[in-house]
A and B are shown apart, each in its own frame.
Chain A
Amino acid sequence: MATRRLTDAFLLMRNNAIQNRQILAEQVSTYDPRRTLNTRSNAALADDRMALVSGISLDPEAAIGVTKRLPPKWVEGVDEIQYEITRIHQKMKELASLHDKHMNRPTLDDSSEEEHAIEITTQEITQMFHRCQRAVTGLQTQSRHCTEQENRLLTNVVSSLAQSLQELSLNFRHTQSSYLKRMKNREERSKHFFDSGPLVEEDEDIALYDRGFTADQLVLVQENTVLVEEREREIRQIVQSISDLNEIFRDLAGMVVEQGTVLDRIDFNVEQACVKTEEGLEQLQKAEQYQKKNRKMLVILILFVIVVVLILVLFGTKFR
């Protein structure tokens, strides 16, 4: 793609313009007003020239513009949420590597440490999601304290953050469900192993004689049951976190603009904004007119009352 950079030329011209203004300003300031006939008009002229050339406009609004550099408070909230989002990202990576380690472990006996770590990380991530979602909702409520245009800005920011969070939560959901699948697969495989292991008697004849479990077998059964229970607990937790995420996703859905619809079109939103501004202007104008009308009526009423009072006074003095 071809482009052309005019910045250098522009900056040069801008510097020239600044210098010219300064030179002109100096000329004006060294100008001796005593040497003219009409000092007042020349002073005024000098004032105008100063205003024109020094770049300091006498327009108070511009002055206010310079001092009003502070961004609205909610902007800080935005930075915080964005930071949280990057942290969630990192945590998810950590969790993914923990999952892999846990799944690929060589031995079948479980290191409950790893499981514990996974549990903790999963919980942390879910909590972070909740926090972010609450923060984004909190941001949205700030819209009450904003002007109409700031409101639009805020809505867009909220929409963007909500969308990022939604995508992230979708990712998390996928990670969780694939982990779940892997666990279930592993479970089934190990179940087969156990079923076809020492608990199953290879010799049917011996089974006839030995209806109960030996002590060793009992221990195995117990361990297996414990294992199964733990597994189930893990699975339940993952399912729970997935349903939590669904909730978060749903809550965020209200703040995200539906992609692919006309609401997601820049030109549509610009048109709506123009319409709102025009409507706003109309309202203002109507209100102004209404007020004017009111004022007129008030003045008429007061005058009328004065006239009545004066007439009364007149009659009063006449009959005295």
Chain B
Amino acid sequence: VLELNYNDKMNVTLAVKQYISKMIESSGPGMKVLLMDKETTSIVSVVYTQSEILQKEVYLFERIDSQNRDNMKHLKAICFLRPTKENVEHLIQELRRPKYSVYFIYFSNVISKSEIKALAEADEQEVVAEVQEFYGDFIAVNPHLFSLNLQGAHCEFFLLLALKKCPMIRYQLSSDMSKRLAESVKQIITKEYELFDFRKTEVPPLLLILDRSDDAITPLLNQWTYQAMVHELLGLNNNRIDLSRVPGISKDLREVVLSAENDEFYANNLYLNFGEIGTNIKNLMEDFQKKKPKDKQKLESISDMKAFVDNYPQFKKMSGTVSKHVTVVGELSRLVSERQLMEVSEVEQELACQNDHSSAQQNVRRLLQNPRLSETDAVRLVMLYALRYEKHSSSILPSLMEELSRKGVSERHRKMVQSVVEYGGKRVRGSELIAPTDAVAITKQFFKGLKGVENVYTQHQPLLHDTLDQLIKGRLKDSQFPYLGPSSLRDRPQDIIVFIIGGATYEEALTVYNLNRTMPGVRIVLGGTAIHNTKRSDALYLFKSDRDLCNINVCDTNSV
């Protein structure tokens, strides 16, 4: 059930793919080399596989900063680079002593006139044929989800160019950073008004800028849908997963790729929950076995399967997919039972969604006393408790902290409890994350409790869901989310781009996916400075003391 409502106009994967195709096709026939930097390599790798690009006659992939590249004058060079000082310097060196016959240069961002002059002066051999700006400066994780991989505020608006949107801007009043970002985006739109001169649609698109600190709970929760779960427990790094530490892993599977573009099973399952995935994998295996020719031997054992695959290499791809998913799901399953994640998740969800303090504190205590509880999960539980019952009269936080030190949790991790409250506590938040105060909200909560919860592990809805729901129905309060500038939308929004400063989560991506699916006429794209799992969240909270955008760069820069 992919791509249901994803009109191509609001599809970030397609936007990046189109940029890259255009780059390659404009350079004409002949053997080509693609010159990239560290970031653009990731940008290209998540949307195009190597075999796809090879078919376009791009036969070599190099980094602009790699030394000692051979001269290969029979190749044309397509350069896709971020216009940083280092890259411009590297390019200057390259143009002075060109290794390839022709250079087509594409910057992923705006480059200054003086830098172009420097390049022009360096091009003594006159090898440059094209210099253009192609604004593909973000990682397109899913068609409606992008990440900046922490490259700084200014990159965000280039997504707007990639999607050809000149939006109205609404930001989160309670967050200074949100206001600053909104203003800087507005400035750039004004400055580069010719770039933003798109065909006016009936309903202008909307850019909504949010701050992670308004909902610090969502990144701390364990997930149960395939993509989110993999990222939480194993870590998705630009769609790559490192399985090298899995016990008994085979050599071929030490690192795998999970990309909906190229993996049909994954595309159909990334938003389904763990139980459903198990069933679907079983079906996948049975299908796979059915495909064997009927006159051959039965596939009873692994060696039979291997022999069959050797004889029919066209089934190799299918078998590769099957073994990859079987391995990943197997490892997820192992981790779930080793860390007792079902119990942990139950309590997490209770902390995030329910209101019963005595039950909550009992459960947290009980779990903390379980010796098998991992350090990460222990700290997370206490962090959740701290956020949830921050101002509660009978808060047992101090005794929980003692529990943590008794368990031997490191001081660094213990400090995070304090940090998370400073980062995302009541004082900081603009929205009602937890205790609903108005009558409508309380009634809603009451009825939800009556209905009983469908699945206790997935009862949580991120705050984003309510925000977007209100936005779509035209009920998002101006007092909390004001417009930047005098004009405002008269009608309900159609194209919405949401950007979360401080990072988004896969759970929120799932929310956006479901909204796109169930609300016709609305297309939402979500993005953030990064995409969180607990490890990354922890780093975020620890260093959140000076809330300068640049400081978000503390997290590992290589990951989504």
| A interface residues, Cβ below 8 angstroms from B | 1-7, 9-11, 13-14, 16-18, 21, 55, 57, 59, 61-62, 65, 68-69, 71-72, 75, 78, 147, 149-150, 152-153, 156-157, 159-160, 163-164, 170, 246, 249-250, 253, 256-262, 264-270, 273-274, 277, 281
Contacts and interface: CB of A to CB of B under 8 A. Distances in A.
B299 to A, nearest CB: 19
Contacts of A14: 120-121, 123, 126, 128
> In this complex, which of A7, A258, A264, A269 has the most chain B Cβ atoms within 10 angstroms of its Cβ?
A264
Nearest to B120: A13
Given A7-B132, A65-B99, A267-B238, 11 more contacts: A2-B164, A7-B129, A69-B74, A75-B74, A160-B59, A257-B51, A260-B320, A261-B256, A262-B240, A266-B44, A266-B53
A5 B262 contact: no
B551 to A, nearest CB: 26
Interface string B403-447: 000000000000000000000000000000000000000000000
B343 interface: no
B135 A259 contact: no
Given A7-B132, A267-B238, A262 B257 contact: yes
Interface in B78-99: 96-99
Nearest to B128: A10
A164 B66 CA distance: 30
Interface string B87-124: 00000000011110100000000110100110111011
Contacts of B18: 1
A160 B71 contact: no
Interface stretch (B203-211, B311-319, B460-468): B311-319
Contact of B51 (A16, A68, A262, A264): A264
A150 B317 contact: no
14 contacts: A1-B15, A1-B161, A13-B120, A18-B126, A55-B125, A69-B73, A72-B74, A75-B31, A153-B33, A159-B51, A258-B316, A266-B49, A268-B255, A281-B68
B116 A13 contact: yes
Nearest to B254: A262
B161 A2 contact: yes
Contacts of B119: 10
Contacts of B453: none
A11 to B, nearest CB: 8
B60 A266 contact: no
Contacts of B53: 266
B45 A7 contact: no
Interface string B47-74: 0111101110101111100111111111
B15 A257 contact: no
A153 B36 CA distance: 16
Nearest to B242: A262
A253 B321 contact: no
Given A3-B135, A274-B66, A71 B74 contact: yes
A215 B246 CA distance: 79
A270 B63 contact: yes
A264 B257 contact: yes
A270 B320 contact: no
Contact of A269 (B31, B50, B96, B116): B50
B50 A250 contact: no
A1 B34 CA distance: 21
Contacts of B36: 270
Given A4-B132, A68-B73, A266-B45, A153 B50 contact: no
Of B41, B54, B96, most A-chain CB atoms within 10 Å: B54
A258 B253 CA distance: 12
B491 interface: no
B19 interface: yes
Contacts of B312: 246
B116 A2 contact: no
B16 to A, nearest CB: 9
